[in-house]
Amino acid sequence: MSILNKITDETSQSKDDIYKHSYSNNCLEYRSLLRGFNNNLFLIFKTYYDNLKVAQSIQSLFKGDIVNESENQAALHHIYRDLYASSPNCHASRDLVESYRLNIERCIALKQDLIKKGIKNIVSIGIGGSFEGPKLLIETLTCEHKRNFNHIFLTGPDRVEFNEIIKPLNQEDTFFIVCSKTFSTDETLQSMALSREWLENKCNADEHFIAITSNSDRAKNFGFKDNIIELPDEIGGRYSIWSPISASAILELGEDFKNFLIGGHEADDLFLNNNEYNQFINLLCFSDIWYNNFDKKHIRVLLLYSWKMRFFSDYAQQLEMESIGKQANPDSIFKNTGQIIFGGFGSTAQHSYFQLLHQGTAKVCADIFTTENNKDSNKLLYAQSQAQSNLLANGPNKDLKSHEQVNGNIPINLFSLKALNPKTLGFLIATWEHRTYVTAKMLQINPFDQFGISAGKIFTKKYLNQYGG
């Protein structure tokens, strides 16, 4: 019997099952309440995982092999996670690793230079991965601390955004970080041009800019000289949070940014060497694919019961949907690829779209997040995370009137960080990358290209030229 037939046959028998699994380490605790999924399905998926040699693909990623086949590149973002680890996982050359390290150290050193210049405001110009990653780090890790700078994030497509953001700022104490891998992103270039115009006649614009890019030649064409930090070409935007793209966050975290990288390294080390961790990752991936292909649950909501973590849903949305939102491979037994991802701060969501989750007809999965310190510091948030997890998964377990009934059939992954700090956040984000990579390999698609995004850019330029832009 084929793998597909085995999955289909088991699916018809598993409707009332609830797959419960737990995993714990020094950074994270996980438990599942996966209705409809069961251990037999897990084992069938594991056979397919072995047939596809996914474990070998993981090794290839960390060896620096070409894993982005359509663009003939390696994916080397994980090198940053090795920089301050005692035992690196990547087999990169010493010169390459040193170039990565020097760029991080340069970002750390930039803080004192800016303080000496009297800089108070940091405007980060970027979009996509150049926006989501730094924004997440700033909001999650520094919101309770006295910041070195006032941080503003500028995406750039609307002049109203620029005018509103720039209105309260002074030219003399404002510094711009321009983040663009290709240095051809229209929104970023537009914001940069407006920023230079704003600085004119007030100060030397060159002293108020730094560019972070893989295309230093193009940056030089726009007037950048020594104020360029190079980004390796083998690092995609949505995987760049570990790199100098996060310069704004590095200005705040300083040496503590290294702990963020170390947390990611710990997840990598487990990914390469630990069976228990891999079972946890595989369960996430196998159940995601199964719900999306065999149970018509094409939507997954991420609910953060920590206000500081509220932007993680936006970050994960880009990571997953840009990586595995691809056409199905004709050779794959699965015809649906990535799920639709959305979410936000759990307490706010409970007063809006939770109505659909509890009583609507859309079929949904849910990832729910909390932190262990909420047990003591914010009992309401912790109670909400536990109550909603169980209610969404199981229903209220008592007789209710028909109009009061709730669905109680939503698959739940519950994640609890042992603490919320650079190390645990690094561990969580690297874990999410592992989830994305294994899912992509199971679907037989490339998680590192984004030709749909590229098509939109090409057509926009066509119409922009048509309109005289």
What sign does the CA torsion over 106, 109, 110, 113 have?
Answer: negative
Task: Find the mean pLDDT for residues 397-419.
Answer: 85
Report the C-alpha gap between 391 and 397 in whole angstroms.
9
The encoded tokens of residue 9 equal 């046959």
- CA atoms of 80 and 186, how far apart (whole Å): 28
User: Contact 405/330 with Cβ under 8 angstroms?
Assistant: no
Dump pLDDT digits (tens) for 200-233: 878 888 899 999 999 999 999 998 998 999 999 9
Q: Token pair of 386, please? A: 């536990």
Contact 262, 423 (CB under 8 A): yes
For 387, other C-beta atoms within 10 Å of its C-beta total 11
Of the pLDDT bands very low, low, confident and very high (cuts 50, 70, 90), residue 452 is confident
CA distance 239 to 433: 8
Residue 334 pLDDT > 70, yes or no? Answer: yes
**First CA to last CA distance, the chain:** 59
Q: What is the dihedral of CA 255, 261, 265, 271, to 10 degrees?
A: 160
Instruction: Work out the pLDDT band at 148, boundaries 50, 70, 90.
Output: very high
Structure tokens at 352: 């809006």
SS3 at position 325 = coil
CB 150 within 8 A of CB 142: no
What is d(CA 452, CA 69) in angstroms, rounded to the nearest whole number?
A: 16
Whether the Cβ atoms of residue 423 and residue 27 lie closer than 8 Å to each other: yes
3-51+274-447 and 92-259, same CATH topology: yes
Write out the two tokens for 89.
């996982």
Task: Using pLDDT thresholds of 50, 70 and 90, give the confidence band for residue 395.
Answer: confident
pLDDT for position 375: 80
Q: CA-based Rg of the chain, rounded to a whole angstrom?
A: 23
Asked if residue 390 has pLDDT above 70, the reply is yes
Query: What are the structure tokens assigned to 98, written together?
Result: 């040193």
If you search the block for the tokens 């109009």, which residue do you land on?
A: 403
216 close to 228: Cβ distance less than 8 angstroms: yes
The CATH topology of domain 92-259 is Rossmann fold (3.40.50)
Q: How far is residue 322's CA from residue 317's CA, in Å, rounded to a whole number?
A: 8
Q: Give per-residue pLDDT as tens, 112-127.
A: 999 999 999 999 999 9
Residue of 334 and 451 predicted with greater confidence: 334
Query: For all residues of the chain together, what is the average pLDDT?
Result: 93
**From CA 431, how far away is CA 202, in angstroms rounded?**
46
Evaluated on CA atoms 59, 61, 62, 65, the torsion sign reads: positive
Q: Does pLDDT of 464 surpass 70? A: no
Q: Is the pLDDT of residue 271 over 80?
A: yes
The mean pLDDT value for 160-180 works out to 95
Question: Domain 3-51+274-447: which topology?
Answer: Rossmann fold (3.40.50)
Query: What pLDDT was estimated at residue 373?
Result: 81
Task: Return the structure tokens found at 447.
Answer: 């998680």
3-class DSSP state of 102: helix
Domain boundaries, the chain: 3-51+274-447, 92-259
* Mean pLDDT on 417-435: 97
Query: In whole angstroms, what is the distance from residue 240 CA to residue 245 CA?
Result: 6
Planar angle of CA 231, 235, 240, nearest 5 degrees: 80
Strand 364-371 relative to strand 412-417, pairing: parallel
Residue 420 clears pLDDT 80, i.e. is over it: yes
Which residue reads 């700078």 in tokens? 149
* Closest-CA residue to 235 (of 309, 179, 313): 179
DSSP string, 11-71: HTT-TT-EE--EEE-SSEEEEEEEET--HHHHHHHHHHHHHTTHHHHHHHHHHT---BGGG
| Burial of 235 per CB tally in 10 Å (0-12, 13-18, 19+) | buried
